[in-house]
Chain A
Amino acid sequence: GAGVSQTPSNKVTEKGKYVELRCDPISGHTALYWYRQSLGQGPEFLIYFQGTGAADDSGLPNDRFFAVRPEGSVSTLKIQRTERGDSAVYLCASSLNSGGYNEQFFGPGTRLTVL
């Protein structure tokens, strides 16, 4: 079946602009994660959804970052007043969350470049 998909694959924007990044999880996966990967670093956690609600948003760096998952499936990560330091690959992952350990499946990522 289809894996996690993310759009766009690349996004170039100017400092101060607003951007939205989309994640389509695997069908039936109730858990959805956003990570950010800067150059030379491993992925860093941003926010985690269980169903429609954000179960943990402790990784969001500041209030310019916001994410939603209104129907418990597709999620959108929103970044206001982008800064050059926001440039990174934004990864989305989903998992079943059926109790115990559930593998997180990653999308291909969105490469965000803020000029």
Chain B
Amino acid sequence: AQRVTQPEKLLSVFKGAPVELKCNYSYSGSPELFWYVQYSRQRLQLLLRHISRESIKGFTADLNKGETSFHLKKPFAQEEDSAMYYCALERSGNTPLVFGKGTRLSVIA
């Protein structure tokens, strides 16, 4: 069975500090990995996916198949980054997502 683990429920950092939100997964195949974000009073939205290798809003995430990790990083946190972040796995195209429990990021001014 697939599983996504986000070990931190809450992560607080100061503005301008680096951020790393951890995500580990278990799946026997080659999954697609995503980060979703939910800002206060907004709906869940895609932040980035590993296959696109993009940097969105300064965030990047590298898939490490050896460590089965997909950590989300940003070198300098901004107050507007404060939100709930979910790591998600997809077995193959157009199949249901498996989400982690989420990490609440709080960026302190």
Contact = CB atoms under 8 A, between A and B. Distances in A.
Interface of A: 3, 31, 33, 35, 40-45, 48, 50, 56, 59, 91, 95, 97, 99-104, 106-109
Contact of B49 (A44, A95, A101): A101
A20 to B, nearest CB: 21
B93 A102 contact: yes
A91 B44 contact: yes
Contact of B93 (A45, A48, A99, A107): A99
B32 A43 contact: no
A45 B96 contact: yes
Nearest to B32: A101
Which residue, of A3, A40, A91, A106, has the highest number of chain B Cβ atoms within 10 A? A106
A103 B6 CA distance: 22
Interface of B: 4, 6, 9, 32, 43-46, 49, 51, 86, 88, 90, 93-102
Given A42-B101, A44-B99, A95-B94, 15 more contacts: A35-B96, A35-B97, A35-B99, A40-B101, A42-B4, A42-B88, A42-B102, A45-B98, A48-B95, A50-B94, A99-B93, A100-B93, A101-B51, A106-B44, A109-B43
A107 B45 CA distance: 9
Contacts of B99: 35, 42-44
A44 B32 CA distance: 17
A35 B89 CA distance: 14
B94 A97 contact: yes
A92 to B, nearest CB: 10
